[in-house]
Amino acid sequence: MAEALAFWAVAMAIAAFTLPLAFRLFARFPDGGAGLSLALGLMLVAAGYFLLRVIGALPAGRGGVLLALALFALAMAALAIRDGRARAAFRRCRTGVAVAAALFTLLFFAFAWFRAYVPGPAPEYPMNLTFLNALLVSPDYPPHDPWMGGERLSYYYGGHLQAVILTASSGASAAVGYNLALAAVFASAGTAAASLCAALARWLLGGRARGWIAAAAAGGVLLLLFSGSLLGPFQLAAAHGAAPQGAFEAFGIESFLPDDPAARSATWYPDAYWFWWRASHLVPDTITAFPAYSFILGDLHAHVMAIPAMLLAIAIAAALWRGRGALSWRDHRRRPVPLIVVALVFGGIAFVNTWDAVTFAAILAAAVVARNLRAGEPRAATRRVVAALSWLLPPAILAIVAYAPWYGAFSSAASGLYGYAGAGTRPEHLFLQFGALILFAMPVLGWAFVRRAPSSARPFAVALAAPLLPLALWLILAATRDGLSAAFDARGAGGWVTLALHAAAVWLFTGTAFALARRRHRAAVVAGLAAFALLLLYGVELLFVGDNYLNYLPRYNTFYKVSLQARIILSVAAAVALVAALRGMAPRIRPVLAAPAALLFAAALVYAVIAVPNRADGFARNHGLDGSVSGVDSSERGLVRWLAENAAGAAVVVEASGRRWERGDDGRPRRSRQQPRIDYSAVNRVSMRTGLQAPVGWPGHQLQWRGAGARAGITHRQDLVDRVYTAPGAEEALAALRELGASYVVVASLERERYLDGVMPPFGTFLDTVFDVDVDGKRATVYRLPVAELVVTR
Amino acid sequence: MSAAPAVRRAPAVSVAALAWVAAAAVFALMRVGLAWNAPVGGLELDHLSGAWLASLSIADDRYAPTLFQALTALTLNWTDSEVPARALALAGTLTIPFALYRLRHALGEAGALLALLLLALDPAGILLGATASAVAWDAAVALWLVVALAGGRAPPPWGRAVLAFLVLTAGPLPLPFLAAAALLNARRLSVRALGPMALGAAAGLLATSLRFGLGGDGVLVPSFALFAESFGASGAANGAELAALYGLPLLTGGAVAAVWLGVRVRRGGHGPPPVETLVAGAFGVAVLWLLLALGSASPLPLAAAALASSLLLGPALARIAGALRDARWREGRVLLPLALGLAAVACFQLAAWGRAGGPGGAYGQALVASSLVLALAALAFLAVRRETRPPTLVPVLVAGGVLLLAGASGAAFNADREPLSGPVRPALVREAALEAAAGGLVVAHPRYREALAWSFRDSGVLLLASRVPPNAAAVVWPPDEAAPDGFVPLEGRWIVERAVHPPGDFLGWVHWLGDRGGLERETELAAIYVRPPE
């Protein structure tokens, strides 16, 4: 509890420090941007900490993090003092600030409470915890790769760095900080959604519609964090034997029917193990994740930690769009603060989750261009677009320069843009996954048609480009890779229907956005966001980014990441559109929309309602917030603690590679026929819990991060680790250790389980035994390379 | 008639001047003995090790490098003694009375004098200002920073540049003052004012990043590095214990003074003097630092908080002195001595319990409880009326003064038996090992890596090895490890490190106040092995 309180206090402090800046950037938001201040502050602190660590100005460890926070607080305080408007802004927005603080507190502690009841870690928990620890202990930056000793971390770890800022400042351990960081992301996403939706609603409905503004904010939070696919009601029905086969087949989810039709859940929620996980595989050969699923799963993954940043990016774009006057590069000279903020935030989005960089940069660009076009006469449109681009260029350059040290160490497996030649998404699945959000957003179309202006035909004509251009690109790319006829043949009938529906929706929403923008209608931003989200969904039916899955699951990652972006954007647009539509209707006919909307809303919430108790095992037992110690014996814990306290931050520690070895018929060590899985296991548990470097870890993931070209190197490292543990004598083991650059070798339960039949050499005879403990028959030993160095004292 | 001859007056010396001289003398005397006699320990030991290695052009994490530490490394080129470095430390520290003299207009004559007296008796300040740790000049730099910012006359541009250089090449103690100054002057800062400071800071940054000639590997700001280290320092007493043992009077007094300042400002409706605002802000930052570092054994947060507190408390005490002078003492002529007497009774009983090692029987407990309650009641009765309120502070001031004096005398005259000084490493192991080796190779276990740098300075070439080579003449080895083959132990008790633990509980603390030499000591021993006689 103390750690949770400290964590919360640090988060609140960061949000409070950032308020003066938020007030400046989000002056037209009802809460002054208070709900976005934590996301903004963390982004800036993490960027500053990263840069100062790279140049060596900050040391490793908690002290360096606290210094970064102190410098940030000082900078924000100085900004507030020089600005002089912060106090007045606070007085004006104090209700919004209080609401944001209360909402954050509620969401944070509620989620932390839920996490305490979750019995086991998420699949990629070892990887994410390893990153947290590595970022904390790495003696220099860019940080070392804890699973590729001697190399720099090649991943987008900006979100993990933000988690480290909170964890180290509060004094929590990394394992507890993992869960509390999830809670902070959850809460920050909630407050950010509330702030953004409230702002959009206020611009649309006016300041007097307070109740409706609050409803839009609440709707945004619910749609973003708690709504899931419409699979939820089906899964609930199936668990209680009320699953009509016809309905399941109609929606193409017959695979979700229970194997045993007579089986019934013993609890009111489905009690089948991890039934909720299946919602992430609704569309075949992809992952159909959504925030509720991700938070219930509990992986502190980049795309999860990026959710507040995505909302922040949309908010900045919206705030810029809402401003007056055209923007150009001259504005950066007059007002350098927005330049720095935009550069660090949008550059930071790539740092947190590279998949989001292009999407949200495009939203920013669209907002700036739209503002400039709105600010002038149509005949000067070209000049204003050029001015908008001149405004965008300096932060773009600064964003790349600021994060250049990270780019230098980052290698990607992305191999380019390809045309998708597959079956496509069935319309039934589209409806289940996104239907509720799309339907909630549809009222925005009414504004273009109900209040029709004479010139609305032209915007819709121009909007045809929105569905046609991606289609044209697909034709070109598909033709060059698989051939057009193969691409056409591969797409099923359902896939074509989905494509057509998407194209129509994109055209309609884009046309509406253009029409509303032309009339300077404030609903343009809502329509624009909805159009953008639908364009993303349309795009993943046509195109994908090539990666390691290129040849067997081509659009696996693209669909996963881009559809999540679309869902987040659509959640915001849908909440505001629905509330605005309800408010615009006469009270007598309001139920016509409200009733079905409520029904659909409820259906979308069913997933979260039934998945949460299942994930928490019925809230039967409070496991605490430290998920790293479950199933770990005392000897192992002592070993980890010794290494954490005594090994230098740059040390390389050899632990089992994950492969299993045995003694063959000829008496020599050989790899066992049956090999256990290495990725997603806790094989690299020492580096996971200490952040120290292992020669190699999770080879499959390393391949994804570094590309196929790294395969040989990865395999060689695994072989070297195995040679350490299976060497016939000291010389071979020492040679392998030297080649790995390692100074420690661990022998505990896992090593004994993977290196069978006594294949391990007698380490104690040629290495120093620096830690050796046996508790309840479980022995754990740490060996170190012998030390021999001359010390000159004069 | 001729005019009367002019009367020649003897030169007059003002009372204030005498007071300044006396206070400065106290300040100096509390440090000279320590600088001359105290064993090297704690932070000083780490930093001297770093400086020694730097003098040999060997990079080490214990070389911060502040300007003072760089000069220490320079002195170690000519001597292996810490005394010249301590003399340098003392020279810098002894500018503090001059800095406070410059602040007398801002703090008031009495306020500045009392602040000097408090600083003279600040245990953490005594230790750090008279020993050769990397932060030896920090307090002086911090005070001159306060003089420059709020002392009345702004320094000339070259002065600002020099000060910026000194601040950037100092340790972390000036940081709270810098933070407070930055906030207070945020609106007034101009490029013109910042220019010379930026130049000085840049020069300082260049010097520290190049490690004053040792070569660099990226930007290095020693105050940042030492600040970060203050959160992870290990030792016998943590920050909370050090604050309780040595910082209670100053920290409590500083907190009360800060609150009182806020109340006065609110009542008066005008801003406080700039120097008090600056110091109050610095005190707040330093206390936050102390609270965040409570689990660490570093004395730096305590020193920073005590430094700021002294500057806050001095003027506050001067006001209290004025209030005491104007108070109606007659009306308290019975109750005040009664309260003091009752408090004394309770203290004597507690001291007895401390000696006995445990609380006494019911009678004693009742006596202590009733004495304290009655004393408090008497004071409360006096405090109700405004005219008699000031004298109620006398017992508090007396108690605070006693604790401060106890801490100061312990730090100044009893350093090797105080938890504040940190662990010491006697030279016995070195002497015995070198004598046993008789010119041959001395081998030490890697566990003693940290201890070797200073303890074994100027001992030729040693081998740090986890396996003893055949040509070793003497081996320094952990006693809990198996003896090296072919060697026999040298008889004796060889202390590698000795640390003093703080009292375990309140009664232990009470006992310690009266008997400062009675704390538990933890010693780390080493075994010395030699070749058996042939």
Contacts of A84 in chain B (CB under 8 A): 187
**Mean per-residue pLDDT for B442-458?**
86
Measured CA to CA, the distance from residue A428 to residue A437 in angstroms comes to 14
Measured CA to CA, the distance from residue A79 to residue A18 in angstroms comes to 10
Tokens representing A473 are 């690109």
Mean pLDDT (chain A, rounded): 92
Kindly report which listed range (A235-239, A304-308, B272-276) carries the lowest average pLDDT score: B272-276
Task: Note the pLDDT of residue A628.
Answer: 74
Task: Note the pLDDT of residue A454.
Answer: 54
Find, in chain B, the residue whose alpha carbon is nearest to that of A648. B61
Q: B116 CB contacts (<8 Å, ≥6 apart)?
A: B20, B23, B24, B27, B96, B97, B100, B314
For A58, the closest of B224, B452, B462 (CB atoms) is B224
How close A685 comes to chain B (CA, Å)?
24
pLDDT in tens, B121-178: 999 999 999 999 999 999 999 999 999 988 777 788 888 899 999 999 999 999 999 9
For B231, the closest of A61, A70, A140 (CB atoms) is A61
B232 and A55 in contact by Cβ < 8 A? Answer: no
Measured CA to CA, the distance from residue B379 to residue B395 in angstroms comes to 9
Measured CA to CA, the distance from residue A209 to residue A211 in angstroms comes to 6
pLDDT tier at B304 (50, 70, 90 boundaries)? very high
Report the greatest alpha carbon distance in chain B.
108
A62 and B232 in contact by Cβ < 8 A? Answer: yes
Q: Long-range contacts: A485-493, Cβ < 8 Å, 24+?
A: A486/A421, A487/A419, A487/A420, A487/A421, A490/A421, A490/A422, A490/A423, A491/A421, A491/A422, A491/A423, A491/A424, A492/A423, A492/A424, A492/A426
Query: Does B58 lie at the interface with A, CB-CB under 8 angstroms?
Result: yes
B228 and A790 in contact by Cβ < 8 A? Answer: no
Task: Note the pLDDT of residue A792.
Answer: 80
How many Cβ atoms are within 10 Å of A78's Cβ, its own excluded? 17
Q: CA nearest B292: which of B228, B224, B222? A: B228
Do A654 and A742 meet the contact criterion of CB atoms below 8 Å apart?
A: yes
Tokens representing A164 are 């480290």
Q: Long-range contacts: B390-395, Cβ < 8 Å, 24+?
A: B390/B320, B390/B323, B390/B324, B390/B326, B390/B327, B391/B324, B391/B327, B391/B329, B391/B332, B391/B336, B392/B332, B392/B336, B392/B339, B393/B320, B393/B324, B394/B324, B394/B336, B394/B340, B395/B339, B395/B340, B395/B343
pLDDT tier at B6 (50, 70, 90 boundaries)? low
Percent of chain A with pLDDT over 90: 73
Query: Does A70 lie at the interface with B, CB-CB under 8 angstroms?
Result: yes
Q: Is the pLDDT of residue A452 over 60?
A: no
Query: Does A74 lie at the interface with B, CB-CB under 8 angstroms?
Result: yes
Count of A–B CB contacts within 8 Å? 107
Measured CA to CA, the distance from residue A133 to residue A143 in angstroms comes to 11
The pTM assigned to this predicted structure is 0.92
B457 and A793 in contact by Cβ < 8 A? Answer: yes
Query: Does B227 lie at the interface with A, CB-CB under 8 angstroms?
Result: yes
For B183, the closest of A55, A81, A787 (CB atoms) is A81
Q: Where are the domains of chain B?
A: 15-317, 329-386, 428-530
Tell whether the torsion through CA atoms of A484, A489, A495 and A500 is positive or negative: positive
Tokens representing B297 are 């054994």
Contacts of A53 in chain B (CB under 8 A): none
Q: B137 CB contacts (<8 Å, ≥6 apart)?
A: B66, B67, B68, B89, B92, B93, B166, B170
pLDDT tier at B235 (50, 70, 90 boundaries)? confident
DSSP states of A701-726? HHHHHH-GGGHHHHHHHHHHHHHHHH
For B186, the closest of A63, A70, A82 (CB atoms) is A82
How close A171 comes to chain B (CA, Å)?
9
- H-helix or E-strand spanning residue A560: helix A556-584
Measured CA to CA, the distance from residue B136 to residue B171 in angstroms comes to 8
Q: B462 CB contacts (<8 Å, ≥6 apart)?
A: A790, A791, A793, B441, B442, B443, B444, B452, B456
Whats the size of chain A, residue-wise?
A: 794
Query: Does A587 lie at the interface with B, CB-CB under 8 angstroms?
Result: no
Q: Is the pLDDT of residue A455 over 60?
A: no
Q: Long-range contacts: B512-520, Cβ < 8 Å, 24+?
A: B512/B354, B513/B351, B513/B354, B513/B403, B513/B406, B514/B351, B514/B354, B514/B355, B515/B355, B516/B406, B516/B410, B516/B414, B516/B417, B516/B418, B517/B414, B517/B417, B519/B417, B519/B419
* Residue listed under structure tokens 């739209």: A370
A793 and B459 in contact by Cβ < 8 A? Answer: yes
Q: A299 CB contacts (<8 Å, ≥6 apart)?
A: A122, A123, A124, A125, A128
A57 and B221 in contact by Cβ < 8 A? Answer: yes
Q: Is the pLDDT of residue A612 over 70?
A: yes
Do B341 and B335 meet the contact criterion of CB atoms below 8 Å apart?
A: no
pLDDT tier at B186 (50, 70, 90 boundaries)? low
Q: Is the pLDDT of residue A715 over 80?
A: yes
Measured CA to CA, the distance from residue A225 to residue A505 in angstroms comes to 24
Tell whether the torsion through CA atoms of B385, B389, B391 and B392 is positive or negative: positive
Report the range out of A765-779, B189-203, B319-333, B494-508 with the highest average pLDDT: A765-779
**Mean per-residue pLDDT for A643-657?**
93
**Strand-pair category, B521-530 with B494-500:** antiparallel
Contacts of B218 in chain A (CB under 8 A): 55-57, 140
For B232, the closest of A55, A63, A768 (CB atoms) is A63
SS3 readout for A192-210: HHHHHHHHHHHHHHCCCCH
Task: Note the pLDDT of residue B254.
Answer: 94
Q: Is the pLDDT of residue B4 over 70?
A: no
For B228, the closest of A56, A63, A788 (CB atoms) is A63
Query: Does A707 lie at the interface with B, CB-CB under 8 angstroms?
Result: no
Task: Note the pLDDT of residue B176.
Answer: 95
Contacts of B186 in chain A (CB under 8 A): 77-78, 81-82
Mapping DSSP to helix (H, G, I), strand (E, B) and coil, where does residue A791 land?
Answer: strand
For A78, the closest of B183, B225, B462 (CB atoms) is B183
Give B154 or A337, the one with higher predicted confidence: A337
pLDDT tier at A67 (50, 70, 90 boundaries)? very high
A786 and B467 in contact by Cβ < 8 A? Answer: yes
Interface of A with B in 730-789 (CB under 8 A): 768, 784, 786-789
Percent of chain A with pLDDT over 70: 98
Measured CA to CA, the distance from residue A556 to residue A554 in angstroms comes to 6
pLDDT tier at B194 (50, 70, 90 boundaries)? confident
Cis preceding linkage at B65, omega within 30: yes
